[in-house]
Every structure is written in structure tokens, then in C-alpha cells.
Amino acid sequence: MFNKAYGIDAPPVIRHLAVVAIVAFIIAAGSYIVLEIHHPIWAIILLILFLMIGIWQLVMLLWMLYSSLAGKMIMRDKLIADLQLNGDEILLDIGCGRGLLLIAAAKQLSQGGLAVGLDLWSKADLSANSEQQTIALIQKEQITDRTTLKTGDMRQMPFADEQFDVIISSMAIHNIAKTAEREQAFAEITRVLKPGGKIALLDFQFTKEYMRHLKALGWSHVHRSQRYWRMFPPVHIVRGKK
Ligand SMILES: C[S@@+](CC[C@H](N)C(=O)[O-])C[C@H]1O[C@@H](n2cnc3c(N)ncnc32)[C@H](O)[C@@H]1O
């Protein structure tokens, strides 16, 4: 059920949740011990308050771990299945990381098809993120003949115009902090995709904004899925046709 091959998303956030949970439990226990005799009401109030804060942090931490170790595999399978690939597509995974979408998509390709992964290998966004790690997984899955990696930034992609039939991405575009720079990424997506090409973007944040960018760039069939709770934070999939 659990698969750690594709890494833990946002490791600093996981660490932060763990620290806050531990501190909250320590404060809950400490304030109860100190206040129990002379201020029993406050001892109970602070105990309950800090226990609730600690438990909430712990729930989010466990949900995020489930998301990285199981939930994202389920969402990956849905995103790829709904693409209904023919097998001969030239496909790009933006912010491919350890190859979650890239590898699953490449397995659907046959002669003539190619899956390209673009990333700048940020370790703050994904645990043990590196090109070498992803190459090792591609080799293990025996798909080196239809998979290639490129180091680069989605705001300025190292690709020619109208090169790809399909563009996919999971939990990557939100990592660009500024709206104008995300807009730049969508201009790049539009530039490198062939006319009639399609997109499927999974993300937990800014998905309404992604739809606005696509519509402003003249895309059709722009649609945002329901919210899926198998990942934390919960995600939507945005699809569209250039
Ligand atoms: C949370 S990880 C997700 C990785 C993978 N798509 C997955 O779902 O497992 C986000 C990825 O986006 C990449 N990334 C962040 N900003 C990027 C940028 N401006 N250009 C290209 N890749 C970027 C990070 O290096 C990281 O690999």
C-alpha cells in the first residue's frame, strides 16, 4: 500500500508540524503540572487547549505522510488514466521530482512516444530530490528508451516552441511564490505545447488562478475537478486543451 520511492513532499513542513506538536504536548503537560494545585481550572483549560493543538498538528503530519506515501500514487493513476494516451505522444512532466507522473506516463508509451521530465531538483520541495535519484528509478523501471530528464525552470523552459502533445504536473507549480511568475510558467506551457495539445495539472493551491491563466491564453475545455481528499492538503486537477 505504501510506496516511498517518490519521496516525501515538503519535508520542512513535516518537520515544522512535528516540532509544533511536540512543543504543544510539552506545554500541555507542563502547564497542568505547574497549575494543578493552585489554579486547577486553568490547568484543565490549558491542558485541553494545548492537547487539541498538538493533536491537530499530528493529524496534519500523518495525513501529509499518507499523502506522500499512498495518496499521491492513487491520484497519479487517476490523472494518467484520464489522459487516455495513445502511446505515441511527446509528453512533458513539469517539476517531475523523482518521477511520480513521468514514470507512470512513460509506461503507457510505445514506439515513438517520449516522456520528458523537467525539474530544478529542489530538496525543500521533495525529500532526496536529485536527477541521479530519478535516473536510478527510470533505470529500475526499464523505461530509459522512452524517458529523458532536463534540468531547468518552468518559468523559462529549455524547449523549442510547440514540441509537446501533452503536459502534466503534480504539486509543482504552487512552488513559484509570485503570481506574475506563475503566469510566466503558463505562458511557457502554452509556448511549448502543440496546438490541440492537452494539459493535466494536479495541485492544492492556486488552481482557480491556473484556470484563469489558461482561459486568458485562449485555451478551451478548461475544467477543474472536484477536491480530492486522498492528499493533504487536498488537491484539484485542472485540465484544458490548447
Ligand atoms: C512537491 S515536489 C513534487 C514532485 C513530483 N511532481 C511529485 O508529485 O512527486 C515539487 C517539484 O517541483 C520542482 N520545482 C519547483 N519549482 C520549480 C521550477 N520553477 N521549475 C521546475 N521545477 C520546479 C521541485 O524541484 C520539486 O521536484
pLDDT in tens, the chain (242 residues): 789 999 999 999 999 999 999 999 999 999 999 999 999 999 999 999 999 999 999 999 999 999 999 999 999 999 999 999 999 999 999 999 999 999 999 999 998 999 999 999 999 999 999 999 999 999 999 999 999 999 999 999 999 999 999 999 999 999 999 999 999 999 999 999 999 999 999 999 999 999 999 999 999 999 999 999 999 999 999 999 99
Please tell me the distance from the alpha carbon of residue 85 to that of residue 168, in angstroms, as a whole number: 12
* CA of residue 48 to ligand 1 center, whole Å: 39
Residue nearest to atom 13 of ligand 1 (CA): 95
Q: Determine whether 115 is exposed, middle or buried from the number of CB atoms within 10 Å of its CB (0-12, 13-18, 19+).
A: buried
* Three-state secondary structure call for residue 177: coil
Decide whether any atom of ligand 1 lies within 6 Å of the 172 Cβ: yes
Q: Is 176 in the pocket of ligand 1 (CB under 6 A)?
A: yes
* Rounded Cα–Cα distance for residues 117 and 144 (Å): 12
Q: What is the DSSP letter of 154?
A: T
DSSP annotation of 125: T
The C-alpha atoms of residue 99 and residue 117 are separated, in whole angstroms, by 7
With a 6 A CB cut-off, is 189 part of the ligand 1 pocket? no
